[in-house]
Structure 1
Amino acid sequence: MSPQPQAAVGAPLSRVEGRLKVTGQAKYAAEHDIGGVVHAVVVDSSVARGRITGIDARAALAQPGVLKVITHLNAPRLAYRDNPVSLAPRGGRRLRVFQDDRVQFFGQPVAVVVATTLEAAQHAADLVEITYDVEKPSTDLTDSPADEPQTYARGNAEQALGSAGVRLEMSYRLSRNHHNPMEPHATIARWDGDRLRVWDKTQWVIGVQHELAAVFGIPAESVRVISPFVGGAFGSALRTWPHVIVAALAAREVGRPVKLALTRRQMYFSVGYRPAYEYKLRLGSDRRGRVTAMVHELKHETSRYERFWEANLVLGQMLYAVPNVSQLVRTVSLDVSTPLWMRGPGYSSAAFCIESAMDDLAYELGIDPIELRLRNEPDEDPSNGRPFSTRRLRECFREGAREFGWHRRNPKPRSTRDGDWLIGTGVATGCYDVWRGQAQAYARIDADGTAVVESATHDAGPGTYTSMTQVAADALGLEVRHVEFRLGDSTMPPAPPQGASQTMASVGSAVQDTSDKLRTQAIKLAVEDEGSPLHGVNADDVVVSGGRLQVKGDPARGETYQQLLARNNGTHLIARGSYNPGAESRFSMYGYAAMFAEVAVDARLGLVRVRRMLGVYDAGRIISPKLADSQAIGGMVGGIGMALLEHTVTDHRDGRIVNANLADYLVPVNADIPDLKAIYLDGRDDEADPIGVKSLGELVQIGVAPAIANAVFHATGRRVRDLPITAEALL
């Protein structure tokens, strides 16, 4: 079949839903207008470990408008069946709200107040008195025993270290980070008999649907989850958190629709976070900079009731051609809520340590940091021997060095000044897996020549509405304004969660397949229709452009979708399609980045300011350049936060997070953001998926923090191995 003209894909389009958002018409989870809704406010535990010994809700119940106070004393027993369709950790047991008197972390939901107004519910929640039998909590990663490890080894790392010409040993500490999306987590729940409808902030409507079905012991078909707009998530909405269950339970108990929105403070305790790490790395090399051995020993926090893991070993196995590698990672079970994946999960943490170590080695040997990385580039994946589908990291560094002006730097640390400011530049590698999942889509062309395409995916920020519209528009031969993409409803064809940078590869490929099938169906109808100008034409010679089916090379011969349907008395044509990545690929598939940063450090005060950043990406085919830039800039901003600002402070006496607010938990603001630029290598990866894309949304943050840290070292001559890098560490 003749290839379709590509008019939409690759064009720098603005978001198709942008007007809805800037005019306030886009409805987020808490904004849906549901008749008869009442309000719920969660009462959180004020201890991290212990048992509830008493609950006095009399004052709360006496308040005007209060309908009910639900606790473990009066809540019904819920089914809490096993749920295989879940992104919850497989180790341990998920928190079962209001099912017993046990408190497992500070801020755990221990009661919920339901009232006719939000103000009444908030006031009554303050009046609920709870007493505890308090046990001493363990919340300190550095002072708690570790669990059984996961390990990996190839070669003999200890022996290779012993014979290495150069040996380095480094220890790193990375603070806990919180997602802090603009939209707080919220849920509206309504029961219609034994059927449940939920409007939720989520990155996976299918996951919420199955979790609610499992908890309440009802068929998944009896649950509908709706989430058309998500105001950022960064991973925090990948699983179904207890407040969603609380909202549904409260709605059933009071017989009214219930709205429950978490406060900003509650989000620090109850919707996940990037766990804190301790990471020890030993490295061996010859004098030419060939790394011969790496030994990784790391541990990170998890909750005591669930065991959370993330992909923190991958980079140490495949990023560089190191023949001898040993890795050991342990979780530390603490009296805290369960962590969850946060942008670049596992990879971001490991990259900071590995890329800082590579920088140390470069200075130890007197080799340019880029040249050192290139000397250790593998020809195939050293972890499994597979060929790379594409690996253009050398090009990323070459293009980035030219654009950034790397050759102009004085390689000597603390050698460049601008008045009181010490100036430094740094570089680091970014890398992230190419994830793909099964996805389905539905498409319809109506008699007016417009199309609707649907899939139960999400748009938590990357621009899914727009990018899927672009893919469908080109495949159907329509203008973008004549295609509507719909998402965020569990009644639509299923799709994987919007996480791990898999949406474009997975859902985009399903949209491509569905749209191809629909276009092929229309062409078949035309060439078999005696009344069509295309009758008798070989279907493979027909393309569609501007909504018109026409012979390739003879555009005068053809007709529009409208004409075809009208003549055949049709109101529409429909098609369903899918994408299934199938068996494990024989290729090693990753996206790559070369990250460059320039910083200025006040020589007297230790203040760090990022002056400019550049990211060069090997991310396959770029469907929407403007959206890609949005992702890249956002990733750099998140990386600045990780490197210089973000960290949780916990009072280990009671497990309370001291800075659970946006005044004291610092995130980057406009004044912190410098000139940011992204460049994408032209190309595609057809081994990865049918549309040739690779990971981008996670990739753009990985490598940012170490690039900044390496620039700080170049500016000051002081290596800081703890994140965030504070002024105190540089004084």
Structure 2
Amino acid sequence: MTTTETERATTTATYVGKPVDRVDGRAKVTGEARFAAEHHYPDLAHAALVHAAVARGRITAIDTAAARAVPGVIDVLTHENAPAMKPPPKFSPLDLSTIVSATSVNYLATDEVHWNGQPVAVVVAETPETARHAAALVRPAYQELPAVLDFAAEEPNAVPQKGNLLQESEADKGDAEAALKAAPVAVDLRFTTPPYHHNALEPHATTAVWDGDLLTVHEGTQNIAWLRGHLAARFGVPERSVRVLSPYVGGGFGGKAMVWAGTLLAVLAARAVDRPVRLALSRAAVYHTVGGRTPSTQRVALGADTDGRLTAIVHTSVSRTGRIGGMPEPVTAATRHLYAAPNIRLRQHLVQLDLLANTPMRAPGEAIGTFAVESAMDELAWELGLDPVELRLRNEPERNPVDGKRFSRRLLREAYALGAERFGWRDRDPRAGAMRDGRWLVGMGVATAYHPAFVLPANVSVRLGADGRVVVRCGLQEMGMGAATVQAQIAADELGVPLESVRVEYGDSTLPGAPGAAGSTQTASIAAGVVAACDKLKRTVRRLGRGAPGTYAEILARAGRDHVTVEVKANMPVFMVRTLLERRRLVKAACGVHFCEVRVDRDTGEIRVSRWLGVFDVGRIVNAKTAASQLRGGIVMGLGMALSEETLVDPRTGRIMNPSLADYHVPVHADVPRIDVHYLDEPDPTMPLGLVGIGEVGITGVAAAVANAVRHATGVRVLDLPITLDKVLPS
């Protein structure tokens, strides 16, 4: 970072850091904002999917006569009559749009069935009701083939997970197993986490329109640019012929990062019937065609001396992918960075099942990995008779524990000190089950939050008019986090104009390309582009003014210029080289601490989270309001992970048994206490504007904080999520 950038990251700003209302807030609450399934076209048709009822096999016949006979049905597409679609491209580092291939299946191009729920037909009709009714009348017949479906049964067959340049899968420092055996105090625990599913407010939907070889797609996506490239490759048209419009995305959490069957089949159907087609998935169809988080088993073993200094850390995991695709989760990733120990052993293993490919879900790897390691740290504190906060502070590293790299900035000690004071940790009775309120057993728990920080290249253009109005153009994704708002704040400060004078154009593939909204990278990545574009614009205007005083708009007016537009374009090869070199010497991350209070009914086992405090070291805060909302949202999602959420997969058939919000229980208002969020607001000098991503760190450590509070309240260590009442009641 240059001296100018360092000064900018530490000076007082006019808008950056303030709790500014979202610029799209009014449009959303009034219904003016239109999402993917709300765009109307003349002659619009509607599509519905037919899902396979077997886990693996071949379609021997498919009877569509009854469906075709329904009035209003336009066509029924199957592998027997669907237009050809190119197969998914193999991954290439030279074409990053290949990353978003959710599965290797070429839908409706084969009679093969790869998972229970795979789309095997698409009904296109005049109304959505007609399409759904006719889809229920399609009758496929199958030759079933043997399928591997039981994660627990396949665990012994797991194979080592391969690493890559950006994600390591194992680590060895010293001899952790020997040190564990020699440790005066040790814990050795086995944890399990179930599958989870994203449940965004907006289910997946696509509106596809062909005009010759020109394709327009309205889609709620987390990556506009890569979706555009993927559609161009699959349908054999130039990328310039595809336009993706995604100005509003009703939540994603990773579930809208990949290209799933519904998107491709909507585009295929529109081409087949030569009409605009909308395919809006039901909740059940989302579960059956969009992957979720992998289940996991984990072993965490910790050895320590009698003073609580760690001598050994062992963390191993088994997770799954689908035989037709899926992204391995870095389950042990956070453990590489959390605690100092002379001996560390980390391993990740995989099994492949005949299920739908899994996919990233908020803080993939870190969310479930921190549940295990932070629960084990708490259990070690019980074994030592040591305060859980003190145990963590005694093992807080000065450098990255595995490889000795320098931290770009790490203020966990400060976060723990502030959190303990604000939460009233000193009032905690250290004995299990000693704190009571009537029939309620009261417990307090604590856990560390951690998520790595990344930046990706972004293209941005900025236009300044002589009237003082500014237009920032970037194809970024707005999933509800306030992305456009914070970039407007940054541009307003950089150019010294009122916030209401800044308009951000986004959500369109015709705009300068942006990275996806994933990995907590978008805000920092776009901010770097906005700052660079504003700097370039200011230099351009100053040259026009030849040193004359005045605002940038006044200089333009005097120069007789209506406006000035500049654009910055990222150099991907240079960026990748710089990133890899930096990763060799620095570790960047958002981190924090969760303090949790629970109440457990001593007779029924009912668990209620009664208080929550999170303190985070997440760099500079651009918008105090949206930042707090993001962190609270992550915590709420973590509460669901801890207490209620799990996807139930029948190990005999591979069928998801609870594909709805009636049976898959996300937290509701009654489940969520007041959540107090604090952040240190200390800039990271190595990040754009000193800011670090906050979208995912909030969920990490949450499940462990709840489990640790339950342990304090009841004396029961729950190792298997979710923490249901049967697990805390005496047997």
Asked if structure 2 preserves the Cα contact closer than 8 Å seen for 1:86 and 1:207, the reply is yes
Asked if structure 2 preserves the Cα contact closer than 8 Å seen for 1:91 and 1:308, the reply is no
Q: Which residue of 2 aligns with 1:97?
A: 107
| Residue 126 (str. 1) matches residue 140 (str. 2) | no
Asked if structure 2 preserves the Cα contact closer than 8 Å seen for 1:146 and 1:330, the reply is no
2 CA distance for matches of 1:690 and 1:417? Answer: 48
Post-superposition Cα deviations, 1:271-295, rounded to whole Å, max 9, x if no partner, equal 2211111111222111111111122
Corresponding residue SS for 1:401: helix
Q: Which residue of 1 aligns with 2:166?
A: none
Which amino acid in 2 is paired with 1:104? H
Asked if structure 2 preserves the Cα contact closer than 8 Å seen for 1:87 and 1:238, the reply is no
Deviation at 1:244, TM superposition (A): 0.9
Deviation at 1:686, TM superposition (A): 1.4
Asked if structure 2 preserves the Cα contact closer than 8 Å seen for 1:83 and 1:211, the reply is no
Post-superposition Cα deviations, 1:256-275, rounded to whole Å, max 9, x if no partner, equal 11100110011112222111
Asked if structure 2 preserves the Cα contact closer than 8 Å seen for 1:644 and 1:726, the reply is yes
Say which of 431, 434, 440 aligns to 1:412: 431
| Residue 565 (str. 1) matches residue 556 (str. 2) | yes
2 CA distance for matches of 1:91 and 1:299? Answer: 23
| Residue 583 (str. 1) matches residue 594 (str. 2) | no
Say which of 40, 43, 54 aligns to 1:33: 40
Structure 2: runs of 5+ lacking an equivalent: 162-169
RMSD of aligned alpha carbons: 1.7
Q: Which residue of 1 aligns with 2:164?
A: none
Say which of 86, 96, 117 aligns to 2:127: 117
> Aligned in 2, Cα 1:496/1:146: closer, same or farther, shift over 3 Å?
farther
| Residue 176 (str. 1) matches residue 195 (str. 2) | yes
Post-superposition Cα deviations, 1:529-584, rounded to whole Å, max 9, x if no partner, equal xxxxx62xxxxxxxxxxxxxx5xxxxxxx3561x4334333221101125675333
> Aligned in 2, Cα 1:127/1:353: closer, same or farther, shift over 3 Å?
same
Deviation at 1:148, TM superposition (A): 2.1
2 CA distance for matches of 1:476 and 1:269? Answer: 48
1 CA distance for matches of 2:408 and 2:84? Answer: 51
Asked if structure 2 preserves the Cα contact closer than 8 Å seen for 1:9 and 1:474, the reply is yes
> Aligned in 2, Cα 1:378/1:695: closer, same or farther, shift over 3 Å?
same
Q: Which residue of 2 aligns with 1:233?
A: 252
Post-superposition Cα deviations, 1:430-468, rounded to whole Å, max 9, x if no partner, equal 111011111110111123221110111111121101111
Which amino acid in 2 is paired with 1:65? G
Corresponding residue SS for 1:706: helix
Q: Which residue of 1 aligns with 2:605?
A: 606
1 CA distance for matches of 2:455 and 2:690? Answer: 12
> Aligned in 2, Cα 1:406/1:681: closer, same or farther, shift over 3 Å?
same
Q: Which residue of 1 aligns with 2:30?
A: 23
Asked if structure 1 preserves the Cα contact closer than 8 Å seen for 2:18 and 2:623, the reply is yes
Q: Which residue of 2 aligns with 1:310?
A: 329
Which amino acid in 1 is paired with 2:208? A
Q: Which residue of 1 aligns with 2:709?
A: 711
Asked if structure 2 preserves the Cα contact closer than 8 Å seen for 1:5 and 1:474, the reply is no
Asked if structure 1 preserves the Cα contact closer than 8 Å seen for 2:311 and 2:343, the reply is yes
Q: Which residue of 1 aligns with 2:212?
A: 193
2 CA distance for matches of 1:460 and 1:92? Answer: 20
Asked if structure 1 preserves the Cα contact closer than 8 Å seen for 2:616 and 2:678, the reply is yes
Asked if structure 1 preserves the Cα contact closer than 8 Å seen for 2:100 and 2:257, the reply is no
1 CA distance for matches of 2:227 and 2:157? Answer: 32
Q: Which residue of 2 aligns with 1:663?
A: 662
Q: Which residue of 2 aligns with 1:720?
A: 718
Q: Which residue of 1 aligns with 2:532?
A: 513
Corresponding residue SS for 2:358: coil
Which amino acid in 2 is paired with 1:115? A
2 CA distance for matches of 1:94 and 1:50? Answer: 16
Aligned runs of 1:321-720 on 2, under 5 Å?
321-526=340-545, 528=546, 535=548, 558-559=550-551, 561=553, 563-578=554-569, 582-584=578-580, 585=582, 586-687=585-686, 689-720=687-718
Which amino acid in 2 is paired with 1:700? G
Which amino acid in 2 is paired with 1:587? L
Structure 1: runs of 5+ lacking an equivalent: 529-533, 536-549, 551-557
Which amino acid in 1 is paired with 2:706? I
Corresponding residue SS for 2:390: helix
Asked if structure 1 preserves the Cα contact closer than 8 Å seen for 2:247 and 2:507, the reply is yes
Which amino acid in 2 is paired with 1:40? A
2 CA distance for matches of 1:244 and 1:92? Answer: 11
Deviation at 1:21, TM superposition (A): 0.3
Asked if structure 2 preserves the Cα contact closer than 8 Å seen for 1:146 and 1:333, the reply is no
Deviation at 1:707, TM superposition (A): 0.5
2 CA distance for matches of 1:433 and 1:265? Answer: 33
Say which of 175, 184, 197 aligns to 1:156: 175
2 CA distance for matches of 1:200 and 1:193? Answer: 20
Range with greater deviation from structure 2 (294-303 or 670-679):
294-303
Deviation at 1:240, TM superposition (A): 0.8
Asked if structure 1 preserves the Cα contact closer than 8 Å seen for 2:301 and 2:315, the reply is yes
2 CA distance for matches of 1:467 and 1:86? Answer: 26
| Residue 203 (str. 1) matches residue 222 (str. 2) | yes
Post-superposition Cα deviations, 1:399-455, rounded to whole Å, max 9, x if no partner, equal 000000000110111000000000000000011101111111011112322111011
1 CA distance for matches of 2:102 and 2:303? Answer: 38
Asked if structure 2 preserves the Cα contact closer than 8 Å seen for 1:154 and 1:324, the reply is yes
Corresponding residue SS for 1:297: strand
Q: Which residue of 2 aligns with 1:82?
A: 90
| Residue 10 (str. 1) matches residue 17 (str. 2) | yes
Deviation at 1:89, TM superposition (A): 6.5
Deviation at 1:87, TM superposition (A): 6.9
Corresponding residue SS for 1:650: coil
Residues paired across the two proteins, number: 702
Corresponding residue SS for 2:688: coil
Corresponding residue SS for 1:64: coil
Asked if structure 1 preserves the Cα contact closer than 8 Å seen for 2:190 and 2:298, the reply is yes
Asked if structure 1 preserves the Cα contact closer than 8 Å seen for 2:464 and 2:470, the reply is yes
1 CA distance for matches of 2:271 and 2:482? Answer: 35
Which amino acid in 2 is paired with 1:673? V
TM-score (normalizing by structure 1): 0.93
2 CA distance for matches of 1:583 and 1:328? Answer: 25
Q: Which residue of 1 aligns with 2:309?
A: 290
Range with greater deviation from structure 2 (648-657 or 250-259):
648-657
Q: Which residue of 2 aligns with 1:107?
A: 117
Corresponding residue SS for 1:306: coil
| Residue 146 (str. 1) matches residue 157 (str. 2) | yes
2 CA distance for matches of 1:311 and 1:351? Answer: 11
Range with greater deviation from structure 2 (118-127 or 697-706):
118-127
Which amino acid in 2 is paired with 1:420? R
2 CA distance for matches of 1:88 and 1:716? Answer: 49
Deviation at 1:34, TM superposition (A): 2.4
Corresponding residue SS for 1:344: coil
Q: Which residue of 1 aligns with 2:165?
A: none
Say which of 61, 86, 98 aligns to 1:54: 61
> Aligned in 2, Cα 1:89/1:307: closer, same or farther, shift over 3 Å?
farther
Which amino acid in 1 is paired with 2:321? T
Post-superposition Cα deviations, 1:97-148, rounded to whole Å, max 9, x if no partner, equal 0111111111111000111111221111111111111234322210125342
Deviation at 1:5, TM superposition (A): 6.8
2 CA distance for matches of 1:57 and 1:86? Answer: 39
2 CA distance for matches of 1:176 and 1:474? Answer: 44
> Aligned in 2, Cα 1:91/1:111: closer, same or farther, shift over 3 Å?
closer
